[in-house]
Structure 1
Amino acid sequence: MRARPLTNVYTAVSSSNITGEFPGSKSFQSTPATTAPDVSKRTSHDPVDVNATPLSVDYPNDLDAHKRKKSSTLNMTRKRQRMSFTDTDEEDVELRRSRRRVNMQRYRNKIRMHADTLEADVQQLREEIQKLQLKHHTLLATSKKSTAWGVAAEYFRLFPYGLRGGFTSTEPHDLIEAPSSGSSEQRGFLIANMAADVIGPKGCGLQKLVEGLRKLTLYLPTMSTQLVRLETGPRDSIIASTRVEVTITANAIRLAFPHLIHNKKRSRFASMLQGQQLVTQGVVHFEWDSDSSRVTLLQSKADLLTPMLKILGDLETVASVFQEALITPECTLSSKD
C-alpha cells in the first residue's frame, strides 16, 4: 500500500479547523454560544467563553453580610465599652474632685485655727507686756521720794489730753489688769501717787477719780491742758494754772450736748458751736498728804462760759446750751451725768 503524503494531511487538519470537519469523519455543528459550558468536563487547557452565562453562586454575598453583621456587633460592643469607660472616668474625676475639696477645706480650717491661735498668743503677750510696763512704772514712781511739786509736774506731763480708757475695778491689783485704762505710765502714776480715798470729780476713791477723768475725756476728746505755772496753796496744797483748748466737734456735741440735737429749737445752737475752738484759762487743785506722800484731792476747772458767750452772743442762749448738758460752764461733770 502506498503512503499518503503528509502535505495532504496537514491540509486536511487545517481545513477541519476552519470548517469544523475532520478528514474521514462526519461533519458536526459548533456548540452554540448560549449553551452553558460543561464545567465537569473542562480542563485547564480548555478555552473559556467570556460571553457564557456565569454560574449562580450565593456564598460571597452571605460572607459579606456575615462580615457586616460581625462588624456591627463589634462596633456596638466597642461603643458600650467606651460608654462604660466614660462613665467610670467621670465617676473617678468627680471622686477626685470631692476628695480635693475635702482636703482643701481641712487645710483651710487648719490654717484658720493656726491663725486664731497665733492671734490669741499675740494678744496674751501684749497684755503681759502691758502688765510688766505698769509694774515697772509703778516701781519707778514709788522708789523715788515723791513731793507735791514733783507729782503735780508729772501729772501734767502724763495727762495733757486726759485719760484714755477706763478702769474697771477699785482694787489696785485689778487696776493693773485693765490694759484699756489709759497708758501704763498713767495707770502706774495714779496707783503710786493717789491715796485710796482721794477726792476726784465724781466723788471719793481712786475708781471715782478715774471715772471722772475718763468721762471728761470722752465728752471733750479734743481738749488739751498745758501747765502755765505752779503755786503753793494752803495746807500743803498746789495750785496749777493751765491753758485749756477745746474744739467743739460733732462728736462732742452728740456726747456732751445731746439735747441740742434732739430739740429742733436748739439745733441751731449746735450748728453755731460745731467747729469752734475754745481757748480759755483753767486751774487744777492738788492736796497733798505729807505723811503718806500721796495726793488726797485732785480737781480741775476751766472757764467755758467766756468763749461760749463770744460765740452765742448772750447769757440766755449760753444758759440754754448748758441747761441739760453733761458738762458745766466750769468744764466739770454735771449732776445729770
Structure 2
Amino acid sequence: MSSDVLHPPNFQSLGQDVIACVLQRARTRKHSFVSATNKNTMVPRNSVFPCAHKFDPVTDVEPIRVVNPTTHTRKVLGRPSRFRVDLSTNKRQDLVEAIHRERHRKSQERYRLRQKALMENLHKCNGKLRDEIQYLRTRRNKLFIGNAPHITMHDVVTEYFRVFRRGFIEPDGSRVAELDFLRLCMAPDLDAGTMSGFEALARTWGVFSHLFGDVRFQCEQVQQITENSLVARTTTSFTFSKRSVDEVFLCNGFRGRPANQKRLTRIAGKLLGEQLVVSGTVCFSWDNSTKRMVGLISHADMLSPLLKLLGNVEDISILFSNASMTVECNLLEDCFSRYPLYH
C-alpha cells in the first residue's frame, strides 16, 4: 500500500473518472479575492487529479468587483444637488395641488348641477301643488254651494274670516274661486257700512292689502246677539309701508300753514315701518228666509294704538286731516279711484 501525503488514504478505491469529474465549488463573492499578480497563474499540467476540464480560478469563479491596482480608489457616484431635489419636490407638490384643484372643481360642478336639478324639481312640485290646492278649493266651494239650503250664519262667518285672514291681494276678485261661496251667501244689496255689495267689500280688502304690509285679520270671540245677528271681536295687524304713507296720508298734502305740512311729513315718517295692532268688531246680520247675509258692518279703533305710537292727539289730528282713510280704519272713495284694477 503506497502512501502519499498528497493523496487521501482511500483514493485507490475510487475511480479516476469519478474523481476527475467532480468540480470545485465556487467561492462566494464575500470570500473571493484574486490578486492582480495571480491573474496569469496557470494550473500545472501534472496535476494529481487530471480531469477533462481544467479549473481556472479566474474564469470559473463568479466575477467580482476588483479595486483598481494602480490607484486603489473606488469610483463613487456623484450625489444629486440639493437644487435638483428641491426642484423635483416642488414639481411634485405643484402636480398634487393641480390634481386636487381639478378634483375640487369637478366636485363643485357636480354639486351645482345637483342643486340646479333640485331647484327645477322643487319648482315643478310647487306648481303641481298649487294646482292641486286650487283644484281642492274649487271642489270644496262646489260642495258648499251644492249644500246651500243647509248653510247657516255661522258657516258664512267662519268662511269670511278664513278667506280674509291675510287680507286679499287679488285685484280682480271675480277670478278667485274662494270668493264663490261668499258671493253666493251674500245679498246683492249687502250693507257693508261705507259701501254696498260684496264686490265692493272684496275691493276694499284688495286695496287695503295692497297699501299696507303683513296684513293679519283674525277673530278673537263670537257673541250671538239674536237668532239672526252676531258680533265678532277681531284683531287686525298691519305694517305702514312707504306706499301706504305716501298714498294714504301724504297724497293730498295739508291744507293749512306750511309749518303744519312739515309736521305732517315728520309724523308720517314716524309711522314708516311700524306695525299697528287694531282691535275692532264685525256685526253680521242674517236673513233666514233667503239664507243670505244682509249686513256686515266693521268698526276698528286706530286711535288707541296711534296714541301710544305718536304720543299726542294733535299729531293724530294732523295725520288724518286730509288722509284717504278714517280713524275707524275705513278707506275713502278717492283711494279706490287710483286703483282701477280693483273696480
Which residue identity does 1:158 align to in structure 2?
V
Shift of 1:139: 2.0
Give the aligned partner of residue 207 of structure 2: 215
- Structure 1 window deviating more from structure 2 (149-158 vs 233-242): it is 233-242
**Per-residue deviation, 1:317:** 0.9
What's the % identity of the aligned pairs? 27
Calculate the TM-score normalised by the size of structure 1: 0.52
Determine helix, strand or coil for the equivalent of 1:204.
coil
Q: Do the aligned partners of residues 270 and 217 (structure 1) sit closer, same or farther apart at CA in structure 2, a change above 3 Å counting?
A: same
Partner of 1:323: 321
Corresponding residue of 1:292: 290
The alignment of Structure 1 onto Structure 2 pairs a total of residues equal to 200
1:231 aligns with 2:249: no
Aligned pair partner of 2:247 in 229, 244, 255: 255
- Residue by residue, what CA displacement relative to the aligned partner does 1:102-156 show, whole Å, maximum 9, x if unpaired? xxxxxxxxxxxxxxxxxxxxxxxxxx99997776344222223211112111211
Q: 1:196 aligns with which of 188, 197, 207?
A: 188
Supply the distance in 2 between the matched residues of 1:306 and 1:276 (Cα, whole angstroms). Answer: 15
Structure 2: 5+ residue runs without aligned partners? 1-130, 255-260, 336-343
Within the candidate set 153, 160, 165, 1:160 is matched to: 165
* TM-score, normalised via structure 2 length: 0.52
Where does residue 21 of structure 1 map in the other structure?
none
User: Which residue is 2:152 aligned to?
Assistant: 147
Give the structure with the higher percent helix. Answer: 1
Q: Does 1:271 align with 2:269?
A: yes
Write the mapping of 1:24-103 to structure 2, written as runs, cut at 5 A: none
Q: 1:246 aligns with which of 234, 238, 245?
A: 238
User: For the pair shown, which has the larger CA radius of gyration, 1 or 2?
Assistant: 1
Give structure 1 stretches of 5+ with no counterpart.
1-127, 169-174
User: Is the partner of 1:140 in helix, strand or coil?
Assistant: helix
Between 303-312 and 213-222, report the one with greater CA deviation: 213-222
Question: Which amino acid counterpart does residue 160 of structure 2 have in structure 1?
Answer: Y
Contact 2:156 2:182 in 1 (8 A): no
Contact map agreement 1:202 1:211 (CA 8 A) in 2:
no
**Residues 286 and 293 in structure 2, CA contact (< 8 A), matched pair in contact too:** yes
Q: Contact 1:253/1:274 (CA < 8 Å) preserved in 2?
A: yes
Native 8 Å contact 1:202 1:208 kept in 2 = no
Shift of 1:218: 2.5
Counterpart-to-counterpart distance in 1, 2:171 and 2:145: 22
